[in-house]
Structure 1
Amino acid sequence: MGHAEHRTGRDETEDERADRMWGDLIQEVRVAQTGVQILFGFLLTVVFTPKYVTLSDTDQAIYITTVVLGASATGALIGPVSLHRVVSGRRIKPQAVAWASRLTFVGLLLLLATMTCALLLILRVATHGDHAIWLVVAVVAWYLLCWFGLPLWARHRHTSS
């Protein structure tokens, strides 16, 4: 049994493993890209609505922060595609997978921040500030549980590393 086989439990070369991991990563990125792009598209329209000028300075600042976070999340989640295109054929796929994975994780964190700010803005407007922060905290706790808590628990419970 070779070194790569022992680590992965699969009979694959380093290049085959990188190809498999790249395919898995791109499927994951597609889900996150779709979500952030739809959210970002809707965010871009808000500033052109009559309601925007009636927002308080605080709500406008939350909106601007949300748009910048959404743009940043979009960049990080599209980054792996560009990375792959630029390094394709250079025989560095294992390194490309590692960098694309990091970009994806950063993109997920930025998406979490974008959704948090968007939810805060929407709930501040919808509830006139009443209880908005507690609703946001509850939803963000749910996101953290779904996106990080359960995966980390499963990794700890079912793997040795």
Structure 2
Amino acid sequence: MMESSGRRPGDVVLSDDAAWNQDARGETETERLDRNWSTLIQELRVVQTGVQFLISALLIVPFQASFATLSTPLRVLYLITLCAAIGATVFLVAPVSWHRILFRRHRLGNVVAAAHRCAMAGIALLGISLTGAVVLVVSMVAGTLGGLLAGATVAVLFLVAWLLAPLLWRGSSAPAEDR
């Protein structure tokens, strides 16, 4: 029995993106998920190394003699920066745990979707932690005003490069078949 849309009950309905991948690349849904997973893992490998280095640098800061001279607001900023870096690590490593726990459970679609959300959260926390680190370092070298200006500049750079530019490009670009 056919529905009015021409589909039978139980037919798999592909999203526009999945349908495009099937037509343009000849990929099955499973091949698309495998490709998306591989791409995401490669991206996370690049980011994880930087976050791990940042955390190691932040963890030794309190043991430096100059840490005692930090004002209360800079100590609070330090703690926020450290927590953001640790949060970034949690979210950027979480996809590996998801994959291991759900391995051979035929849940790759769920893993890829969750990993995407984790990666976005991790990248946001990385931007916060890097901004905080810049404020801390520049404040120690050039004073509070310099630190705040440097932090604001870095935050704007992150927002433009990591969020606004891709969103603007995404909004203004149509799929290839619509161009």
TM over 0.5: yes
Preserved CA contact (<8 Å) 1:77 1:107: yes
Give the equivalent residue in structure 2 for 1:156.
171
Residue 159 (structure 1) shift? 2.9
Give the equivalent residue in structure 2 for 1:14.
29
Residue 147 (structure 1) shift? 1.0
Residue 156 (structure 1) shift? 2.1
Identify the structure with bigger relative contact order (alpha carbons < 8 Å, sequence gap 6+). 1
Preserved CA contact (<8 Å) 1:14 1:94: no
Question: What is the percent sequence identity of the aligned residues?
Answer: 34
**d(CA) in 2 for partners of 1:121, 1:3:** 49
Residue 16 (structure 1) shift? 0.8
Q: 1:34 aligns with which of 45, 49, 54?
A: 49
Which structure has the bigger radius of gyration? Answer: 2
Deviations 1:98-130 (A, max 9, x none): 001000000001111111111111122111213
Residue 135 (structure 1) shift? 2.0
- The answer as to 2:79 corresponding to 1:64 is yes
Preserved CA contact (<8 Å) 1:76 1:104: yes
Q: How does 1:104-143 map to 2 (within 5 A)?
A: 104-143=119-158
The one-letter amino acid of 1:83's match is W
The one-letter amino acid of 2:52's match is Q
**d(CA) in 1 for partners of 2:152, 2:74:** 18
- The answer as to 2:38 corresponding to 1:23 is yes
TM-score, normalization: structure 1? Answer: 0.91
The one-letter amino acid of 2:145's match is D
Aligned length: 160
Q: Cα RMSD (Å) of the superposition? A: 1.8
Give the equivalent residue in structure 1 for 2:104.
89
Q: Secondary structure at the match of 1:47?
A: helix
Residue 58 (structure 1) shift? 1.4
**d(CA) in 1 for partners of 2:92, 2:111:** 14
Gaps spanning 5+ residues in structure 1: where? none
Gaps spanning 5+ residues in structure 2: where? 1-12
